[in-house]
Amino acid sequence: MKKESKKGQVIELLFKICKQQNNLVFHNDLVKDACRKVGFGNPFDVTKLDSKAKLPEVLLKNNYAIIHIGGGKHKFIKGINKVFHDFEPVQKKIDWEYKKSILNQYNSSESNILSVANNQRILHHFLFGKDTEFDDIDTLKRPKTYFPHRTKTSFEYYFGKGTKMELKNIQIEVDLTIELQGTIGVFEGKNGKPDSFSVYQIYHPFLYYYNANRSTALKGKIKNIYCVYVVHEQAKGNDTLRLWAYTFENPLDITTIKFIKSASYNLININ
């Protein structure tokens, strides 16, 4: 068995304490205490687990994951496959010719990944099937882009049958949004080759727009909401963007994630 990382040791200690107290909910204050005992210097990173590969052995063995429940609180919850979703096989591979900008690879941040995909019209092509320059003077006929933003909101939804989540005044971040004639795409970007992702990463932005469509000036104007996960992979000088689109069959149940389609775009520089 491999030696657990410091972060994994903190989670193992938290899990042990919660089991002993017969209470699987824990607060950030307990996280800080556990970090001091283990000698891990970043308590804010402990509960950030964006793929199954990052789960420590104790959670994998007992089939538990961590979810955020607001108010500085978190919970160990049974059912790893309810919290994380495995990426489906790529359905279509596309060679995408483009003229490389000087800033395309200036940094490898998640926002830059989405900026490149957006500037090269890959997001539009994948979601709407369009690959033109959208130079129509009627802006209602071309996708609009809305850049990253953070906001605080409250959510009520279900985590499967019988488990209701009530999150008060939590902060969510929407990496990128595009909209065309009532269809909205929200995007999450990552580097590398992750095998899975935490569903809440795309569900919270989905629910943010779903709630807006029910109760604000947007009421009834949103027709569809799709969540798209974009992964950037660089190998031997070649850049590939892989995209997966999802929605939720029951908008108020995070466990009802539904796969729509996937594709990979091999970027061919024609400069």
**Helix (H) and strand (E) counts for the chain?**
7, 14
Tell whether pTM > 0.85: yes
pLDDT of 60-96, one tens digit each?
Answer: 999 999 998 878 899 999 999 999 999 999 999 999 9
- Judge whether 262 and 242 are in contact, CB under 8 Å: yes
pLDDT in tens, 173-232: 899 999 999 999 999 999 888 999 999 999 999 999 999 999 887 889 999 999 999 999
- Banded model confidence at residue 138, pLDDT cuts 50, 70, 90: very low
Amino acid 175 reads D
Q: Enumerate the domain spans of the chain.
A: 6-84, 87-269
Asked if the model's pLDDT at residue 23 lies above 80, the reply is yes
Best-predicted range by mean pLDDT (43-52, 113-122, 141-150): 43-52
Q: Is 138 exposed, middle or buried (0-12, 13-18, 19+ CB in 10 A)?
A: exposed
Beta-strand relationship, 224-235 and 183-191 = parallel
CA-to-CA distance for 217 and 208, rounded, in angstroms? Answer: 14
